[in-house]
Structure 1
Amino acid sequence: MTSFIFDVLKDLQSQSITISNLTFILPSKRAGLFLKHQLATVKNQNFFAPTILSIETFVEDLSELKNIGNTELLFEFYNTYKALTPQKETDSFDTFSKWAQILLQDFNEIDRYLIPQKKIFNYLAAIKEIEENHWSLEQNQTDFIKNYLKFWNKLPEYYNHFTQNLLKKNIGYQGLIYREAVSGLKTYIENNPNTQHVFLGFNALNTAETTIIQTLLKENLAKVYWDIDQTFIDNPKHDAALFTRQHKKNWTYFETQPFNWITKNYTKSKNIQVFGIPKSIGQAKYIGSLLQTIQNKQQTLTNTAVVLGDENLLIPTLNALPENIEALNVTMGFPLKSIPLATLFETLFRIHKTNPKTFYYKDIISVISHQFIFPLFNTETLNNASKIIDTIKTNNLVYLTATRLKNIAKTSSTIIDVLFSNWNNNTETVLSNCSQLILNIKHYLDTDKTAHLLPLEYLFRFNQLFNELTRLNNTYKHIKDVAALHSVYKELLASETLDFQGEPLQGLQVMGMLESRVLDFETVIISGVNEGILPSGKSNNSFIPFDVKIENKLPTYKEKDAVYTYHFYRLLQRAKNVYILYNTEADVLTGGEKSRFITQLEHEGIHNIKHKIIAPKVPAIKKELNSIEKNDDVILKLKKVAEKGFSPSSLTNYIRNPIDFYYQKVLKIDEFIDVEETVAANTLGTVVHNTLEDFYKPLEGHFLTVEIVENLKKNINKTVAHHFNDVYKEGDITTGKNLIIFEIAKRYVSNFLNLEIADLKDGNKIKIIAIEANNTVVFNVPELDFPVKLTGKVDRVDNFNGTTRIIDYKTGKVNQTDVEIVNWEDITTDYKKYSKSFQVLTYALMMQQSGLIKLPVEAGIISFKNLSAGFLKFAKKEKPSARTKEHLITEDTINSFSAELKHLILEICNVNIPFTEKEL
């Protein structure tokens, strides 16, 4: 396979043209690099290289203007806007930037296509006036409509003032540079009468480019080489040749001169395979598989290109490449916005945008846990970042001030000032803090430069970015607050990349579609060939209506689609092996529908297209329940647990899921502590329990009276608030859901006391025996060679009309059926149905063995969400449908329960029975 560039050089050589004297002009700088490489293949002797320029550089030379970035252009335009707009009507820079970027794009298009500015701006103003008169029929226009129309009428004034200011500074945007290049073309020709120009590989040309090339052709100072195939140019409906057909038909130069070149490469035999693959990441993975297969067959990936239709696929593709690739060149840079530092600065901008006095705990943890920040809080003896996080969680802090943070970590006050001391919505302060933060991070990374080469590179690029922000802010003074600065920061960040280092002329090439211009490869893999990506489809990011664009010969979505059609088919022209990948998933806007390019290829009938749908190999993973065997060490720890005492909650935890019991009791893994923004159910339960303990503990051994309980009601608010402060720490219960939960806690306590009062008024006699009674008893298990204890705290034991009651409080909802049992063997197997019964019976067993009560007794639950049901007594039934129930807990009851409890403990301590996870 010979490349287009090689063919051009051979043709020039055959005409005995001295290549060293030529100026080559190509669509991109990258194409120029390949041209330089091909020079050595056409001549066998040393010679001076010709001048090789991209079209952008050539036009800049013609115009004598320097191209400036979009962000600085926005600042320059704001100067114009402020100069021509009354102060009271002026938008802030942040608001201005949102519409001004669209207008600048329109300026750019108007200039690149050499449209008379006054004509099109007057046209736009007239259209807008007609629209407003149509929709607003009032004779007296509102101020809003007047200002709206005034804006459109001012467009010529904005344009003239703006461009004149740029020209005075010898700078410009692309369109202005093109317009000035056309104006300076005559002078350029006079100064370079003998320079021969060779334009090669162009397709879609704007009016300025067309004028420049045609003028140089007319003056015999240029040659132009097109790269189009006979198949496309002969088909009047094929968009791959849309622009080339226009050039061939409309340029007077081709009336007498040959049209170089129309080739016949596309119809040559090709291996074209189309793969439908679910998800973008699936395409990346399959690219890796394809490359491995190609390398195994060809032993090399030279002359192979991976062209990414969706450039967001770059990082997944790089991660999927085979490890044995020796030479690789990536033409696209790594987006700076994907670097970890970007998330840090994005978080800082976001939390300071509203000029806060306090900071949300998740934002604080996110910042100080960041990989670049965490080390800055650490000293040889202190880990202040962990200290802050632990303090937040322990004290349930939802919002903190910078002062509080400095009090927690006094030795890190400097970095806390940089990160959290109020930025006062001041752009100079923000930029100063960000620059200082970069220096602090650099100081840490410099301690081991070898290990931190890549992070230092990241830091260097962000330092450049903030230096540019500082320069723009100092030069233009338009950024007035953090929100505006954040917008400019994001604008700069989106355009910055971290360039890869690779072999530009060797091995595998990974590139975007536009970077493939003029280049040819034997093997091409194209990904993301979906509608909405290739081609990108209808989009109109412009103030100029569609019909006005047609009238003035400005490009619309049809022309933009034709550009991508040309690039796509040009990649196929000389290729021998083509692999086209598209996303089959319809869960995204640009997924599911294959590109029209694929359909067109299939309907052309020129090539035999092999189309496959690739499904990822998903192994059938059989879920295996986790199982932990009991070794000597586990048994030793179980003996210690038994010696300390099994609590009813730990035993029901084992019934629910033995693996949880293993984690908590054997491994001693505590539950994860996190900040409670909203009061959790267990916190509410603790507050209610503690409040009732405070109320009833002093009444142990006394009979209750209506007066005593009425007096308790007076202290509900104070006591509940006290326990919320104690349990919920510094969490706020004065607003929102927490205030509602606080009121619910008070209502629970109040309703309970009202229930107590109603019982007393009905003539019932209630004597408090014990409140929150701690019990630890030895439980006899003869089969074990070590002691076993039971331990637990009973919420309340009282005497109700002569019957002893063991009461457990539940703030959740419990029904009578939850404390009833039919078969004793079920009580240690079915957690969901019998855990409540198990718990109250364990309390009864402990209290009976400790001698605090005498059988028979009643045991049960008072549910605060079901208070109307009163005391829910444990009951034993002969069968599920039986209406007769035995509520009294007798010696037989205790013996039957003890037998099941013993079996459970023996199972826990049995070395041959592993801790096996249950399916929940």
Structure 2
Amino acid sequence: MESFLKELARKISTEPQFEQLTFIFPNRRAALYFRKHLAEVITKPVFAPLLLTIEDFIASFSNYQIPDKLELVHRLHGVYNEVMRSHTEPFDRFYFWGEMLLRDFNEIDKYLVNAGQLFRDLRNQKELDASFDYLTEAQKKFLLDFWNEFDEHITENKKQFIGMWGKLFALYEAYRNQLQQAQLAYEGLLHREVAENIGSLAANRFVPAQLRFVGFNALTKAEEKILCHFVARGSQMIWDGDEYYVNNKAQEAGEFFREYQQHGILKHTFTQNFPSNFRSTKSIKVFGAAQPIGQAKLLGQMLQEELGKGLQPEDTLIVLPDEKLLMPVLYGLPPQIEKLNVTMGYSLGNTSFFNLIELLVELQLGKRKEYFNHRPVLSLLAHPYVIAADAALANTRRKEIQKGNWVQIPANYLASAAPLHRIIFGAMPEGLLPYLQRVVREVGSLESILDLDREFAFQFIKLLNRVQDLTGVQTADASDRKEFVKSMRSFLRLLRQLARAEKIPFSGEPLKGLQIMGVLETRNLDYKNVFVLSLNEGAFPSFGGKGSYIPFNIRKAYALPTTEHQDAMYAYLFYRMLQRAENIFLFYNTETDQLGQGEKSRYLQQLIFESGLKLESQVLHNPVMPLAIEPIVIPKTREVQEAIMKLNGGNTYFKGISPSALSTYLDCRLRFYFKHVARIKEPDEVEDELGARELGNFLHKVMEKFYKNLAQRKRSKQVEAGDFADALPAIDKLMDEVFAATYNMEPGKKVEYEGQSVIIQQLVRNFASRILDYDKELAPFSMEAVEADGLLHRVKISHAPGYAVLGGKIDRVDRKENVVRIVDYKTGSDKLDFPSVASLFNRNDKKRVKAVFQTLLYGFLYQTNFPLKANDQMVTGIMNRELLFGNAEFGLTLNKQPVYNVLPLMPEFSTHLTALLEEIFNPEVSFDQTQDVMACKFCPYKSICYRN
């Protein structure tokens, strides 16, 4: 079927002296295609007629220039603060409201509304009642209904809003005056000035009989007045519609045409019946797919199939109502499509660059002197652009930070030789904007990124330069922390708004290859093959409109655009893009959310139930049915048995089967399998909050250093009461050493504690000092071992390989006279009372005391490695809160009775331990899940078992 523009070109080419005509189109693309079609039908050399967009046509009558939106809002902000002197706002907080005000001013002028009257009506109902003479009864009802409801629900915020409304007209007038003095205007202001003075402005500018207005549908009042001026003097309107929706009053797509058919001037331009293209033979296929990304993937598959059937990319259009689908669609296109053109704006806020910029600001916000917070650091090291700069370095740094649980990370550790890393984590002496510009330029220069990423970089540099030039925004000096954070957050808030509003103007082959467009860009264009995605409520049409100071009722009364206007406009665009197409592919999301998004678009429903056209429908996903979760059981196959035998060798950090591994086995055989047999690594995560692990690690290292230094200094294991005379300063020094080593600080550099590190330092200091106080009272005693590792013991078993190797690392072993103490440092409050030795091995006992099991196993290992004398006794226990800060005694309790010697318990303990090891190596006992689901709550493997 011939397209609307080609049909028009063929008709125009037969007119005499058509080169003297001027054609005005809704957009530049329609003019471009018309020029192409005109060249195709003209057989002899002629001058081309003048082709203009409606914007260029109207602007030609004015000397005003239209700045970009950022400048317009920035100028409005200055006027706002002058008018609203008692309610001034910083620019970053004003931008959202300023953008909304600008939209309202724009619409007021485009629809030629009496601004003074409207703003007075908004301010005061008494003035509204007194001014009812100029309104119709319907308009009065709209306004009264609104104000009655408003009075009943008035709040303090609304009172403030009313006060501001009272000054809106003054703001409107002052803003317009300031712009006009600078020979500037927003679009609505320019249109209004032209419309209200078109009689004098149009004199001798254009010959009305030579003007052709092509393909218009929903005109603003200003456009209508301008066009009517010329139509009344001989200009022609060339409408682009279809009888299906124009002649059917139930179809909102034809609403504006039916309105113009009754118009005093425009009705004379409807000289012919509308064609009936929509009802022509078409192939229409409707596909339901799960989630937007499912639609993008399905589109790629369908294009692949259709290309195999002879589809020509030049005859094909993809319409994306949701711009977020642009990237998934581009990545999913078949490789045969070599040329394509994207004609739609893509928000900078949807790009990876925007995410990078946000992280960079968050990085600086979280910086404390020479340290960065781990959260933005880890996010940056995982960012695709940082990985593109040096993947190995980024991954190594990320693993080291997670493994070391570094909450605060030194800048010099991160600012490595890689240029991008050096810029990101280096100093920022010149301020935030130059810092961001340097990062973006460096990313843009990376060889490994795509051309599309370079375009994003270019657009961000432009935006940052524009912000700098226009606002002169600067972040406060970092020495004033409070003001620095405030200014950084203000900048980030502004940048987020600007990036989301800024559209990337893609460029490509406008007349060649596959075409990808937004909905508005399809006006007047026709393609043989049309693919439309996101045909869901909330996407096409989108929910409601943009924010406005003017409520719906007032808009209705003053004939300003409402959601009804938007629905009618988008209905027209929907039917218009299909009316001349031959092969139509429509996609919708089958997943419905709480807001109703996921329901088929009303336009799609109309097409299915009202059009009478034959459609093929297919839902390309099966409903998700909850499946019964089968228990996971890992039988001990030959491969699994071979892996089990490797347990005896341990790993690079630890030899043998550890007490914690045995405890894990008792908790859940499957977790033991995942961690120690299959060796599925648990994800390393940095703990923000003070956890027992971080606190315990610092305490262990400090106490280890203290007693090893003491033994080295004295060259003796003996500990005397006098050894604790200057213990506290020594602890402080050791704490600094441990902190500096943990966070890779420069040797000899003074350690400064900030934030949570202050709390850690104080807690470790308190624990360490209480341990030393306790030891001072215990002295004299002998420190037999500190952080003793390499303690191994081979247990004979009946299954291959015939033995099991136990390994352990004991925090501390000391001796006083004939009593050997096995000491474990704990910062928590572990229970140490148990009912029996057998209970420690009972996996079904939810009250199984793990701490007792662990300390007895340490005692067992020590005893087997260092045989005791005949009269020796052994006490195992924990130095924890209860012992150090309470009244507890060191050691275990069996049924509430103190255990002063655990050696009599060892034979029974050894029997149960051997049975446990026999089970682990027994090929007949599979690895299965625990029945206690609550035990899975903090298990890192719970997602594998579907217990999350």
TM class, shorter-length: 0.7 to 0.9
Query: Which deviations, in whole Å up to 9, do the C-alpha atoms of 1:515-537 show, x marking residues without a partner?
Result: 11111223322221222222224
| 1:95 matched to 2:106 | no
Letter in 2 for 1:320: G
Q: For 1:682-701, what aligned pairs fall within 5 Å after superposition?
A: 682-686=693-697
Please give the alpha-carbon distance, in whole angstroms, between the structure 2 residues aligned to 1:906 and 1:149.
79
Partner of 2:211: 197
Q: For 1:139-178, what aligned pairs fall within 5 Å after superposition?
A: 151-178=164-191
Please give the alpha-carbon distance, in whole angstroms, between the structure 2 residues aligned to 1:788 and 1:293.
61
Letter in 1 for 2:31: G
Please give the alpha-carbon distance, in whole angstroms, between the structure 2 residues aligned to 1:40 and 1:652.
83
Change (3 A) 1:820 1:261: farther
Q: State the percentage of identical aligned residues.
A: 27
Deviation at 1:105, TM superposition (A): 1.0
Please give the alpha-carbon distance, in whole angstroms, between the structure 1 residues aligned to 2:306 and 2:682.
52
Letter in 2 for 1:283: Q
Partner of 1:280: 292
Letter in 2 for 1:119: Q
Please give the alpha-carbon distance, in whole angstroms, between the structure 1 residues aligned to 2:598 and 2:450.
42
| 1:568 matched to 2:580 | no
Deviation at 1:864, TM superposition (A): 4.7
2:540–2:601 contact (8 Å) kept in structure 1: yes
Letter in 2 for 1:191: R
Q: Secondary structure at the match of 1:191?
A: coil
Please give the alpha-carbon distance, in whole angstroms, between the structure 2 residues aligned to 1:458 and 1:172.
29
Partner of 1:121: 119
Change (3 A) 1:333 1:721: same
Q: Secondary structure at the match of 1:166?
A: helix
Please give the alpha-carbon distance, in whole angstroms, between the structure 2 residues aligned to 1:560 and 1:231.
20
Deviation at 1:71, TM superposition (A): 0.8
Please give the alpha-carbon distance, in whole angstroms, between the structure 2 residues aligned to 1:827 and 1:841.
17
Change (3 A) 1:679 1:120: closer
Q: For 1:199-214, what aligned pairs fall within 5 Å after superposition?
A: 199-214=213-228
Please give the alpha-carbon distance, in whole angstroms, between the structure 2 residues aligned to 1:831 and 1:148.
61
Deviation at 1:584, TM superposition (A): 2.5
- Which of 330, 346, 360 aligns to 2:373? It is 360
Partner of 1:522: 528
Q: Secondary structure at the match of 1:227?
A: coil
- Which of 280, 290, 294 aligns to 2:306? It is 294
Query: Which deviations, in whole Å up to 9, do the C-alpha atoms of 1:660-697 show, x marking residues without a partner?
Result: 99999999999877655333323444566678889999
Query: Which deviations, in whole Å up to 9, do the C-alpha atoms of 1:350-394 show, x marking residues without a partner?
Result: 45579975643433454577565679899xxxx998998799779
- Which of 283, 288, 306 aligns to 1:271? It is 283
Deviation at 1:324, TM superposition (A): 2.6
Partner of 1:18: 17
Q: For 1:186-335, what aligned pairs fall within 5 Å after superposition?
A: 186-193=200-207, 196-220=210-234, 222-255=235-268, 258-335=270-347
Please give the alpha-carbon distance, in whole angstroms, between the structure 2 residues aligned to 1:696 and 1:429.
48
Change (3 A) 1:325 1:804: same
Change (3 A) 1:856 1:660: farther
Partner of 1:7: 7
Change (3 A) 1:119 1:652: same
Deviation at 1:645, TM superposition (A): 5.1
Please give the alpha-carbon distance, in whole angstroms, between the structure 2 residues aligned to 1:25 and 1:891.
98
Partner of 2:76: 77
Change (3 A) 1:847 1:726: farther
Deviation at 1:238, TM superposition (A): 1.7
Change (3 A) 1:663 1:25: same
| 1:595 matched to 2:598 | no
| Segment of structure 1 superposing worse, 486-495 or 263-272 | 486-495
Please give the alpha-carbon distance, in whole angstroms, between the structure 1 residues aligned to 2:403 and 2:82.
56
1:733–1:742 contact (8 Å) kept in structure 2: no
Change (3 A) 1:718 1:617: farther
Partner of 2:458: 460
| Segment of structure 1 superposing worse, 898-907 or 521-530 | 898-907
Partner of 1:430: 432
Deviation at 1:658, TM superposition (A): 9.6
TM-score (norm 1): 0.76
Change (3 A) 1:342 1:84: same
1:779–1:790 contact (8 Å) kept in structure 2: yes
2:316–2:527 contact (8 Å) kept in structure 1: yes
Letter in 2 for 1:269: T
Change (3 A) 1:204 1:640: closer
1:776–1:789 contact (8 Å) kept in structure 2: no
Deviation at 1:112, TM superposition (A): 0.8
Q: For 1:546-625, what aligned pairs fall within 5 Å after superposition?
A: 546-587=552-593, 589=595, 591-604=597-610, 606-615=612-621
1:858–1:874 contact (8 Å) kept in structure 2: no
Q: For 1:39-50, what aligned pairs fall within 5 Å after superposition?
A: 39-50=38-49
2:22–2:212 contact (8 Å) kept in structure 1: yes
Letter in 2 for 1:262: F
Q: Secondary structure at the match of 1:329?
A: strand
Please give the alpha-carbon distance, in whole angstroms, between the structure 1 residues aligned to 2:184 and 2:117.
25
1:335–1:498 contact (8 Å) kept in structure 2: yes
1:274–1:580 contact (8 Å) kept in structure 2: yes
Q: Which runs of 5+ in 2 are unaligned?
A: 129-143, 476-483, 712-718, 744-751, 896-900, 931-940, 943-948
Letter in 2 for 1:110: I
Query: Which deviations, in whole Å up to 9, do the C-alpha atoms of 1:227-280 show, x marking residues without a partner?
Result: 22222222223211110000011133534x543451212222333333332211
Please give the alpha-carbon distance, in whole angstroms, between the structure 2 residues aligned to 1:461 and 1:581.
31
| 1:107 matched to 2:105 | yes
- Which of 626, 646, 655 aligns to 2:656? It is 646
2:919–2:925 contact (8 Å) kept in structure 1: no
Deviation at 1:542, TM superposition (A): 1.6
2:296–2:328 contact (8 Å) kept in structure 1: yes
Q: For 1:786-825, what aligned pairs fall within 5 Å after superposition?
A: 791-794=807-810, 811=828, 813-814=830-831, 816=833, 820-821=837-838
1:688–1:748 contact (8 Å) kept in structure 2: yes
Q: Secondary structure at the match of 2:535?
A: coil
Deviation at 1:349, TM superposition (A): 3.5
| 1:538 matched to 2:544 | yes
| Segment of structure 1 superposing worse, 535-544 or 69-78 | 535-544
Partner of 1:851: 867
| 1:61 matched to 2:71 | no
Please give the alpha-carbon distance, in whole angstroms, between the structure 1 residues aligned to 2:310 and 2:396.
58
Change (3 A) 1:453 1:913: farther
Deviation at 1:874, TM superposition (A): 8.4
Change (3 A) 1:753 1:512: same
Letter in 2 for 1:54: T
Please give the alpha-carbon distance, in whole angstroms, between the structure 2 residues aligned to 1:641 and 1:99.
61
Q: Secondary structure at the match of 2:604?
A: helix
Q: Secondary structure at the match of 1:510?
A: strand
Change (3 A) 1:668 1:605: closer
Q: Secondary structure at the match of 1:228?
A: coil
Partner of 2:50: 51
Q: How many residues align?
A: 869
Q: Secondary structure at the match of 2:219?
A: coil
Please give the alpha-carbon distance, in whole angstroms, between the structure 2 residues aligned to 1:652 and 1:476.
59
Query: Which deviations, in whole Å up to 9, do the C-alpha atoms of 1:122-166 show, x marking residues without a partner?
Result: 3333349779999999xxxx9999986664444343333322332
1:307–1:526 contact (8 Å) kept in structure 2: yes
Q: Which runs of 5+ in 1 are unaligned?
A: 701-707, 876-885
- Which of 659, 664, 677 aligns to 2:688? It is 677
Please give the alpha-carbon distance, in whole angstroms, between the structure 1 residues aligned to 2:691 and 2:792.
32
